[in-house]
Chains A and B, each alone.
Chain A
Amino acid sequence: MSVTSVEKDPESLTMTVRADLEATVERAWQLWADPRQFEQWWGAPGFPTTVIDHDLRAGGQITFFMTGSEGERHDGTWEVLAADPPRHLELRDADVDDEGRPNDGNAMTLMVITIAERDGGGAIMSIRTHFDSLSGMEEELMGFEEGMRIVFLQIEAVLAETPV
């Protein structure tokens, strides 16, 4: 199964992705709760993700980094705002610079994950992301080839609408 809906709002900078998974709710929760599993799907192949800290409790922190094709390192730090296994997770993202400070001051992106049973078996996972700024969105794309490729295509599409 796969992505069933994507809602994007360029005014409020929010996006909700819903996906049907061939898994129980408990199994789907493990995709987030088990750092070794998270490492396998978060980053693209060729951009390995390494989880450092993984304390999935309210107030806990998740830190990880991804390594790009030219050896560049993208750090991620999330604060866990809420964790109610196996159905509800809220993470606040604070990307940090080399000194461990947030790159964008106090600006942070919020992610709300809900997992529910699907009628007829399987699980529905929904990820709602609220971006605080365009630069927060750009941070999200850093190191993701597939996302950047679409950005280039979209730039070309915008240019095609704009008279030269």
Chain B
Amino acid sequence: MVVAQESDAGVDRIFHALADRTRRDILALAVGDRYSVSALAKRYPMSFAAVQKHVAVLEGAGLISKERRGRERLVRTDFDTVQRARVLLDGIEELWRARVDRIDELLATEKQTTGGQQ
């Protein structure tokens, strides 16, 4: 029972961490590359402390870990390289599917306006 409660609390932390748009964004960035907290902070119109807080929430949920390199602390997801590649490829597939949809629309609109001639 105690184990189940602990696991529930873990799931709660994950859902809480993913409920915020900035944190989802940070998580997606951390899949692709390693970012220092200060490099992340530059990407958002908010203070360094605010970004640090978001990173702490993600870390508390076990979604990312920090790794020290020199004077910097780098943020990264705990997935392995192949998992990270798969996640990113799925995103890029979706991007191309949307592009092909737009191409289809473009070709269809043109056909209508030119009366079926190409």
User: Do A and B assemble together?
Assistant: yes
A64 touches B (CB below 8 Å): no
Q: Give complex CA distance A117, B4 in Å.
A: 59
B56 touches A (CB below 8 Å): no
Cβ 8 A contact of B107, one of A27, A44, A137: A27
> Nearest CB to that of B21 among chain A residues?
A152
Q: Which residues of A have CB within 8 Å of B82?
A: 10-11
Contacts between chains A and B (CB distance < 8 A), count? 139
> Nearest CB to that of B32 among chain A residues?
A138
Residues of B in contact with A (beta carbons under 8 Å apart): 7, 10-11, 14, 18, 24-25, 27-29, 31-33, 45, 62-63, 77-79, 81-104, 106-108, 111, 118
Q: Are B118 and A134 in contact (CB under 8 A)?
A: no
Binds B, one of A12-20, A53-61, A76-84: A12-20
A-B contacts, 18 listed (Cβ < 8 Å)? A13-B85, A15-B96, A19-B100, A31-B106, A134-B81, A138-B88, A139-B32, A141-B28, A144-B98, A146-B95, A146-B97, A148-B28, A150-B90, A152-B27, A155-B27, A155-B63, A158-B87, A164-B14
Q: Residue-by-residue, is A1-36 near B (CB-CB < 8 Å gives 1, otherwise 0)?
A: 111001010110101010101111001000100000
Q: Give complex CA distance A44, B111 in Å.
A: 22
Q: Which residues of A have CB within 8 Å of B77?
A: 155
A51 touches B (CB below 8 Å): no
Q: Are B95 and A147 in contact (CB under 8 A)?
A: yes
> Nearest chain A CB to B36's CB is how many angstroms away?
14
Q: Give complex CA distance A51, B73 in Å.
A: 37
Which 9 pairs across A and B sit closest by C-beta, in order of nearness?
Answer: A138-B32, A10-B85, A147-B95, A164-B10, A135-B33, A151-B91, A147-B91, A41-B102, A150-B94
Which A residues from 104 to 161 make CB contacts under 8 A with B?
A: 127, 129, 134-135, 137-141, 144, 146-156, 158-159
Given A17-B100, A164-B10, A164-B11, the answer on whether A151 and B107 have CB atoms closer than 8 Å is no
Q: Are B94 and A2 in contact (CB under 8 A)?
A: no
Cβ 8 A contact of A137, one of B25, B32, B94, B98: B32
Cβ 8 A contact of B96, one of A6, A138, A151, A152: A6
Q: Are A154 and B86 in contact (CB under 8 A)?
A: yes
